[in-house]
Structure 1
Amino acid sequence: MSGVIALVAAFLAFSVPIGVPLFVQNWRSFAIVVAAGALFFTWVTFDLANPAGMTQALGPFVFGLALFGFGAGVIAKFVMLLERR
């Protein structure tokens, strides 16, 4: 059962952050989402180094998936905004 929970957590850790940048509609909101994501993942990086940090419950693997998903979403939306007429 714990394997199923881990798979669901891994799927959500990737799919939710990839979807967040894809929902923005213009350059201003895109910049806000990218800045908020950069602040969040900077905090996660520093908090994972702390053994008593809040992010220790999920661990570096789940947050690594989230970072990879967010980066993929940002790249995809950047290309979509560049190609907009």
Structure 2
Amino acid sequence: MMGYGMMGGMMGNNFGGWYFGSFVWQILWLAIIVAVIYILMNSLSSGKKSEDMSLQILKERLARGEISQEEYIKLKDALSRS
């Protein structure tokens, strides 16, 4: 009599250790998906940061008196169009 069903115990417990291996692969795939989403979100939001930085520099120049109110408005409009 063979025991342990049809395979005669060939598979052993946890399918020969593959159960733990599949868990590791699941965690690895999840980490890859999270990393891709993180990279995409950062690349999409980087344009917004540079836009905010340009406007901040423009405001500082106005506050220091380097540019007039009219120049500020013109430059701000130009930044918002680009």
For the criterion TM > 0.5, the same-fold answer is no
* Shorter-chain TM-score range: 0.3 to 0.5
TM-score (norm. length: structure 2)? 0.38
Q: Which has the higher helix share?
A: 1
* Bigger Rg, which one: 2
Q: Which has the higher contact order (CA 8 A, sep 6+)?
A: 1
Normalising by structure 1, report the TM-score.
0.37
